[in-house]
Structure 1
């Protein structure tokens, strides 16, 4: 039996996935969460074989949650199921430890296939993502600038783009203000941007925030 945790801030999405998974004889939904913080609690308190994780959520984003989950359970498969197109996040999140990435518009049967694949210890990569990865390998200089960021830098970048202050980031990420400021400086240098408003504009244009 594959024990699944569903993490999505929309109750209807969770209910739909739970209903669909109930038709699979080897699937059991054992936990649900509506935020990134609750997802981390699941890892602490529940025995699960795979987490199906959304990216855009309140309190703690899927990117932050992925980092926290992998820090506590590095071998636990995390399948990203997002409303964002694969071209926006897939290669970055795979690099940061996700086991697979699917857009919510995909065929439901593909989710089933992806869960079984990642639970066997393999990555689930769609044809579109495979093409992206091939392009990245072949044309290193053409990678989007946000894909050059480290895990922490990406977290800081997305939080800054959403208007979060350095002080609030430091508190929520358990870092010093000085450390967060250092990450911000690195992000600005790597992204070749001058201000937080530039970061927000980039993120909106690239479809990384809504």
Structure 2
């Protein structure tokens, strides 16, 4: 069962999201939060798996809350769900540790798939958010990735799961996971979404 926390300062939005997950056999809404500080406290207290995080909230912004959750080192994945998709919104959220970034007009079925993907640690980016990362001014790379690591990173950026990447590269899923860990270490990141963001910024992705 995937335990989800809904963090949004608008009760109507929280109610709508709760309804979207009602009756699903593998997802339950474990709690809600009306501000960023409450989101961090409730996510830790309830030991949730995925947080649906709005960015513009009182007391603590979504980005600050994402960073605070990252510092706990708990296996909590944050899926940003917002109406804002500018570079000044997308990049800080990804850099803070968000696993995914979606807009509030995302259809319910896509949101459900995104929660499941986020729970697996897979990056989920709305097309506009991915475009912001791609449009970022690229800077020269520091630590070099191997050719195979760059192939894996490109497939991740294209939205491939570990299984799909393994099939396309004719290697095992375990090898994909090993390559991803090496990529994280070299890029100084902790998850797939951050690796993709850093990859675009360093000019490693097309």
* TM-score between the two structures when normalised by the length of structure 1: 0.61
1:91: which partner in 2? 91
Shifted more, 88-97 versus 45-54: the winner is 88-97
Q: Runs ≥4 in structure 1, deviation > 4 angstroms?
A: none
Shift of residue 90 of structure 1?
1.6
Equivalent residue number for residue 53 of structure 1: 53
Note if contact 2:36-2:58 (Cα within 8 Å) is conserved in structure 1. Answer: yes
Listed one character per residue, the Cα deviations across residues 115-156 of structure 1 (whole Å, up to 9, x for unaligned) are 1111111111223322332222xx337xxxxxxxxxxxxxxx
1:25-44 equivalent positions in 2, closer than 5 A: 25-44=25-44
- Partner SS for 2:84: coil
1:159 equivalent in structure 2? none
How much is the aligned-residue C-alpha RMSD, in angstroms?
1.7
For the residues of structure 1 that align with 2:62 and 2:131, how far apart are their CA atoms?
24
Is the aligned partner of 1:62 residue 2:62? yes
Counterpart position of 2:123: 123
Once the two structures are superposed, the pairs formed by residues 1-210 of structure 1 within 5 Å of their partners are 1-73=1-73, 75-136=75-136, 139-140=137-138
Contact kept in structure 1, 2:86 and 2:132, CA below 8 Å: no
Distance 1:92 1:44 in 2: 22
Number of residue pairs aligned between Structure 1 and Structure 2: 139
When normalised by structure 2's length, the TM-score is 0.62
